[in-house]
Chains A and B, each alone.
Chain A
Amino acid sequence: MSFSTLIQHCLTGISLGGAYALIAIGYTMVYGILRLINFAHGEIFMMAGYFMIFSMASFPWPISVTITIAGTILLGVAIERAAYKPLRSAPRMSIMISAIGVSYLLQNLATYLFSALPQSYPEIPILKKIFQIGAVSASLVTFITPVLTILLVYALVMLINHSKIGMAMRAVSKDFETSALMGIKINNVISMTFVIGSFLAAVGSILYFTDRMSVTPFSGTLPGLKCFVAAVFGGIGSIPGAVVGGFVIGVCETALVALGYSTFSDAFTFVLLIVMLLFRPTGLFGEKNIDKV
């Protein structure tokens, strides 16, 4: 393998990893607040793909991107209100089952509405512009994805550590009841978590599908599961963990494809999950417990 091919593959891997990282944050944040694996997150990501297809049919891309992001946020918050909020005091298993239900509901709804045939994903011309550096060539989206990911993660970490709503989110993630006693509206904080998670999923979806070029009702399943693994790998509940996990899975997957083992690239992700759960169940940056009784 020549040096330039290696660089080429690295770029692809890092770019894929960036999109995974953005989606993985959604899993990890919802888990951090509700202790729920939001199995519908992959489907939110898939629906964002369809939102983009339909808005691009009638609007220029900047407006379509805005519509897609707004639509995805609305969908995420609506799912929380309709399927998770009524189960707030129910056993955790019930709300998890509800999440699985929502996931299948969205898949089947999409099949019913848009058919199971792949719909071609619209091109945003700028993102598809090819750059040539030496022997390496890649479209702009490949460069933009990791940069945008890092910027968004930085903004998110600042929001969580240095703003009032961020402080409220950290408090609610530890203790609902005491947070309520401080005057925090728990439901607003939970909605905010879904707003952020869905926003990042929408951005991730645009970057991911621009590379893949088509969307089906099942396009969300595998990326969704992989990003869930990324979140577990990094330590679920930890944002830096989800980002690292996303990049690791993206790069490894691309590396396997490059080495000719593309058949195993998906299996690898799940082997990674099993190995991680066996040897370090809390993940790379898993929650450390410092509370004293």
Chain B
Amino acid sequence: MLKIENLYVSYSGIEAVKGISLEVPDQSIVTLIGANGAGKSTTLRTISGLVKPKSGRITYQGEEITGMEPEKIVSRGITLVPEGRRVFPDLTVLENLKIGAYLRKEKDFSEDFRWIYDLFPRLKERSWQLAGTLSGGEQQMLAVGRALMSHPKLIMMDEPSLGLAPLVVKGIFDIIKEIHKRGVTILLIEQNANMALRTADFGYVLETGKITMSGTGIDLLQDESVKAAYLGKKRQ
């Protein structure tokens, strides 16, 4: 569905992504794990059009989308839930959801609201509240709900569990599986490698801008070097 070939990205002279290639098959959950500064966020930001790559190709459903403007990418069905939630603090919860559907032509979103309020009952209670007044977990729910409003075929999530309480994290991962069941493909970035690999069909390990390892979620979970580096378990 999404294919990245030999992607190079640099920010103001610093090369953040150095020739990565990866593939996200239709209907799958793929995860990118790696330490801070490994180039995970940069990869997602490049796919979504916020950052222009130096070289390489990104193709989506057979069409090259490298370097397209963000709104073109969104209109093709790729959406990014950005790192740190980034809800609009002085828009209401309802407005935040509506703005997620900005590119959709129809006027009636009641079906979508029903589904999203079903997934996140807390948002329904708070739909008239300003998003800035929500807790971190609720803001994350809102950010995911807002992304779903664009009817994505591929949803990319940048550290959805960052800074959340363990119970809330579990909730977020349940939601990810729930969204996946509805036929949405997922590309997930996580620091919480354990949870991410358990959830994902396939994983890539990113180190200083390069992919150093890849495999199914289960394989990577059992790999000794992954265990040592990302799962906090000692090498035997």
Residues of A bordering B, CB below 8 Å: 164, 167-168, 170-171, 174-175, 177-178, 180-185, 290-292
* Residues A177 and B102 in contact in the complex (CB < 8 Å), given A167-B95, A183-B75, A184-B71: no
11 CB contacts below 8 A, A to B, read: A167-B95, A167-B98, A171-B99, A174-B88, A174-B89, A180-B70, A182-B99, A182-B100, A182-B102, A182-B103, A292-B134
The chain B residue with its CB closest to the CB of A290 is: B132
Beyond A177-B82, A185-B71, A292-B133, list 20 extra A-B contacts (CB 8 Å): A168-B99, A170-B88, A171-B88, A174-B90, A175-B86, A177-B86, A178-B86, A180-B69, A180-B71, A181-B70, A181-B74, A182-B103, A182-B150, A183-B150, A184-B71, A184-B102, A185-B69, A290-B89, A290-B90, A292-B135
Inter-chain CA distance A184–B91, complex, in Å, is 15
Tell me if A168 and B132 are in contact (CB < 8 A): no
Inter-chain CA distance A175–B96, complex, in Å, is 13
The chain B residue with its CB closest to the CB of A171 is: B88
Q: Is B31 an interface residue (CB 8 A)?
A: no
* Residues A183 and B139 in contact in the complex (CB < 8 Å), given A174-B88, A290-B133: no
Question: Which residues of B have CB within 8 Å of A174?
Answer: 88-90
Q: Is B176 an interface residue (CB 8 A)?
A: no
Chain B stretch 87-144: residues in CB contact (< 8 A) with chain A: 88-91, 95, 98-100, 102-103, 130, 132-136, 139
Tell me if A178 and B98 are in contact (CB < 8 A): no
Question: Which one of A167, A174, A183, A291 has the highest number of Cβ atoms from chain B below 10 Å of its Cβ?
Answer: A183
Question: Distance (Å) between the CB of B65 and the closest chain A CB?
Answer: 14
Tell me if A181 and B75 are in contact (CB < 8 A): no
Question: Distance (Å) between the CB of B82 and the closest chain A CB?
Answer: 6
Q: Is B50 an interface residue (CB 8 A)?
A: yes
0/1 per residue, B43-74, Cβ < 8 Å to A?
A: 00000111000000000000000000111001
Question: Which residues of B have CB within 8 Å of A291?
Answer: 89, 132
5 pairs of A and B residues whose beta carbons are closest in the complex:
A183-B103, A183-B74, A291-B89, A180-B70, A290-B132
The chain A residue with its CB closest to the CB of B45 is: A177
The chain B residue with its CB closest to the CB of A187 is: B69
- The number of residues on chain B lying at the interface, defined by a beta carbon within 8 Å of a beta carbon of chain A, is 31
Inter-chain CA distance A196–B232, complex, in Å, is 56
Question: Distance (Å) between the CB of B31 and the closest chain A CB?
Answer: 20
Q: Is B161 an interface residue (CB 8 A)?
A: no
Tell me if A292 and B132 are in contact (CB < 8 A): yes
Q: Is B200 an interface residue (CB 8 A)?
A: no
Q: Is B42 an interface residue (CB 8 A)?
A: no
Question: Which residues of A have CB within 8 Å of B130?
Answer: 290
Question: Distance (Å) between the CB of B66 and the closest chain A CB?
Answer: 17
Pick the contact of A167 from B79, B89, B99 — CB < 8 Å? B99
The chain B residue with its CB closest to the CB of A287 is: B90
Q: Is B221 an interface residue (CB 8 A)?
A: no
Q: Is B80 an interface residue (CB 8 A)?
A: yes
0/1 per residue, B139-156, Cβ < 8 Å to A?
A: 100000010001000000
Inter-chain CA distance A8–B150, complex, in Å, is 57
Question: Distance (Å) between the CB of A184 and the closest chain B CB?
Answer: 6
* Residues A182 and B74 in contact in the complex (CB < 8 Å), given A170-B91, A174-B90, A292-B139: yes
Question: Which residues of B have CB within 8 Å of A177?
Answer: 50, 82, 86
Pick the contact of A180 from B50, B98, B135, B136 — CB < 8 Å? B50
Tell me if B70 and A170 are in contact (CB < 8 A): no
Inter-chain CA distance A181–B100, complex, in Å, is 9
Question: Distance (Å) between the CB of A178 and the closest chain B CB?
Answer: 4
Question: Which residues of B have CB within 8 Å of A170?
Answer: 88, 90-91
Inter-chain CA distance A292–B163, complex, in Å, is 12
Question: Distance (Å) between the CB of B141 and the closest chain A CB?
Answer: 14
Inter-chain CA distance A167–B88, complex, in Å, is 10
The chain B residue with its CB closest to the CB of A178 is: B86
The chain A residue with its CB closest to the CB of B130 is: A290
Question: Which residues of B have CB within 8 Å of A290?
Answer: 89-90, 130, 132-133
